[in-house]
Chain A
Amino acid sequence: MSHYEAPIREPLIIGHKTYHDITEDIARPIEERAGKLWWISLYAALVLFIYGFGCIAYTIGTGIGSWGLNRTVNWGWDITNFVWWVGIGHAGTLISAVLLLFRQRWRMSVNRSAEAMTIFAVVQAAIFPVIHMGRVWVGYWVFPLPNQFGSLWPNFNSPLLWDVFAISTYFSVSTVFWFMGLIPDFAMIRDRAKTPWTRKIYTLLSFGWGGKAKHWQRFEELSLVLAGLATPLVFSVHTTVSFDFSTSVIKGWHSTIYPPYFVAGAIFSGFAMVQTLLLVARKVCHLEDYITMYHIEIMNIVIILTGGMVTVAYATEYFIGWYSGSRYEDFTYLSPGAATGPYWWAFWALIICNLVVPALFWFKKVRTNILATFIIALIINIGMWFERFDIIVINLSRDYLPGSWTMFKPTIIDVGVYLGTIGFFSVLFLLYARTFPVIAQAELKSILKISGETYKAKEGDEHH
């Protein structure tokens, strides 16, 4: 049997592991009692979540007049947060689908958590357009359902409707992809469950999986085809989100660069969030042997790449703003525009957080330093929020008529809903980290003999 991988490649599993060790390591966070830190984090997240829930309830009860929107700036924090969360939800399926097609083995240690993050982020994203409808109870009108209201159909020419299809498909397909991958790992937890309740719950979740040879064959085919389907899906989702802007007639938005620019930005922010969460998870769940420095470094390299694409996109936008000779583009980008106008702080926050600071990853010392990675990833998360804020609020605040130029001030409800989604996201992720196998252990076992440290050392000896 060939278990050969070039010795120059660093091992993906550190330490002298056996198959059983992998089982133990992945099952441990589920089987042990939660630590104090976990409980404190959960309570903090719950408080934020409940506060945000209250703000959402207030918005629905009072109307979106409770937000800081006005006649000029009619999209504000809501759509900023929506695009931010959708962007974050891009790394997971990219890691699991695109990297599966490219046969990147390092994805196996990180794909499960990245996908969980994707799904939880898309849940947060979906909250914003729904509550922005104002009358959420008629939200189902976005679907083409036969109805009693004359012929009330949605408008398929509208990018907002495309978005409904794109986001809901992305959410459900990502969830199915994630769940199908989880089945063999749930079965592993089921087969070593000690209490009857754990056994019952994981029996329910594992669908009777027994690891039969034919089932594995179908499983691998399923993963491959789902990856093939999910790959264009990843690119289509943020493309469609960018259509919300680029197919409009608003200056600064009406731009053909938006789809690739949004997709690159989404992957950039998604990987930053993966780093933020995984660096904590690997420490808390003791997964340092599986999520190694090599994994962290290679994800930082993806951040350099996508960050570079975003930088080029910013430069292009600016250049075209000048080159087009349009006076509307001019006062958005140039004369009293982004960099020196009243929103100069938001503009420079974007430039510093997204272009300047991530450029530090060009230095190997920085990108292989855990603390530096964690801080820079957080800064990118902030920078990418400002990117969406700048696109939406700076553009809108400089209307076509200087007489209607105005500023946007978020209310406490705006802030509350945003913090609430961060709380909700954290609650989901914390619960996930304690109940789900956070690493795709079955897949990981299949590369132990190829990329495990012990086996690589042996291979190396045999070849020299």
Chain B
Amino acid sequence: MSTTKIIYGLYADDDDLMNGVRTFMDKGIKINEVYTPFPVHGLDKALKFKKTRISDAAFIYAVYGVTIGILVTWYVMNHDWPQNIGGKPAFDWAHNMPAFVVPMFELMVFCAAHMMSLTFLARNKMYPGCPPQNPDPRTTDDKFMMEFVTEDVDAVKQILIDTGVEEITVKDA
């Protein structure tokens, strides 16, 4: 029989939770996950998370959007069927570009916003109808939960109690 257990520590207050997180991090005990009803300020730093890279991804998507905008306007207006509309001949893309700023900008925003949101969902493994990822429904209301996967149940329990936990649940892993 495995001695590894899952421990859930439920806190009633975000300040207690932060205190708990810092204590565990200082002692070098790995916190498996933290569930909170709202973004607790400074929690990501306390957990020593790296900066998320989805904004870097958004930049790439924005460049992609502008590129699509350049290609489409060039293909439609200058390459496939150039026309002289209202005395404004389609000589080459560079000369016509000022008229294409709006569509290029819109395509940039469109691609960056949508693809970034899709990346967010994919990275979080979220999709329509996905079962709730939080083990306790109270964590979307007013409770804060830490999750541990550990063999040293007593040590974790003791720190949880010392930092003002409200409820502890231990499960077999």
Contacts and interface: CB of A to CB of B under 8 A. Distances in A.
B117 interface: yes
A172 B141 contact: no
Interface in B1-57: 14-15, 18, 33-44, 47, 49, 52, 54-55
Nearest to A226: B113
Contacts of A192: 137, 141
B99 A210 contact: no
B36 A213 contact: yes
Interface of A: 1, 18-20, 23, 144, 151, 153-159, 161-162, 165-166, 168-169, 172-173, 176-177, 180, 183-184, 187-188, 190-192, 203-222, 224-226, 229-230, 232-233, 236, 240, 243, 442-443, 445-446, 449
A153 B76 contact: yes
Given A20-B142, A191-B141, A217 B35 contact: no
A162 B76 contact: no
B140 A191 contact: yes
A156 B109 contact: no
A162 B101 CA distance: 9
A140 B86 CA distance: 24
Nearest to A215: B124
Nearest to B78: A156
Contacts of A190: 132, 140
Considering the complex of A and B, which 4 residue pairs feature the smallest CB-CB distances, nearest first?
A: A208-B130, A210-B133, A210-B134, A19-B142
A23 to B, nearest CB: 5
A3 to B, nearest CB: 8
Given A20-B141, A172-B110, A156 B103 contact: yes
B109 A211 contact: no
Contacts of A204: 128-129
Contacts of B83: 155
B123 interface: yes
B117 A222 contact: yes
B103 A191 contact: no
A207 B126 contact: yes
B140 A151 contact: no
A453 B41 CA distance: 20
Nearest to B18: A1
Size category of the B interface is 35 or more
Contact of B132 (A161, A177, A187, A225): A187
A157 B39 contact: no
B39 A446 contact: yes
Given A210-B132, A232-B109, A173 B114 contact: yes
Given A205-B128, A217-B44, A446-B39, A180 B117 contact: yes
Contact of A173 (B33, B36, B88, B110): B110
15 contacts: A20-B141, A162-B103, A169-B106, A169-B107, A172-B113, A173-B114, A180-B117, A191-B141, A207-B121, A207-B128, A212-B133, A218-B54, A221-B52, A229-B113, A445-B37
A218 B41 CA distance: 13
Nearest to B74: A156
A52 to B, nearest CB: 29
Contacts of A165: 102-103, 106-107
B120 A219 contact: yes
A211 B117 contact: no
Nearest to B15: A1
B80 interface: yes
A173 B120 contact: no
A168 B102 CA distance: 12
Given A211-B139, A226-B113, A443 B38 contact: yes
A209 B120 CA distance: 12
Nearest to A185: B140
A452 to B, nearest CB: 13
Given A161-B103, A192-B137, A218 B42 contact: no
Contact of B133 (A23, A208, A217, A442): A208
A220 to B, nearest CB: 5
A103 to B, nearest CB: 13
A230 B110 CA distance: 10
Contacts of A183: 126
A188 B105 CA distance: 36
A213 B113 contact: no
Contacts of A225: 54-55, 58, 112, 116
A212 B126 CA distance: 12
A441 to B, nearest CB: 8
B141 A19 contact: yes
A445 B103 CA distance: 39
Nearest to A27: B141
A162 B132 contact: no
Nearest to A193: B137
Contacts of B33: 212-213
B117 A446 contact: no
Contact of A236 (B54, B102, B113, B135): B102
Interface in B86-101: 86, 88, 96, 99-100
A207 B125 CA distance: 9
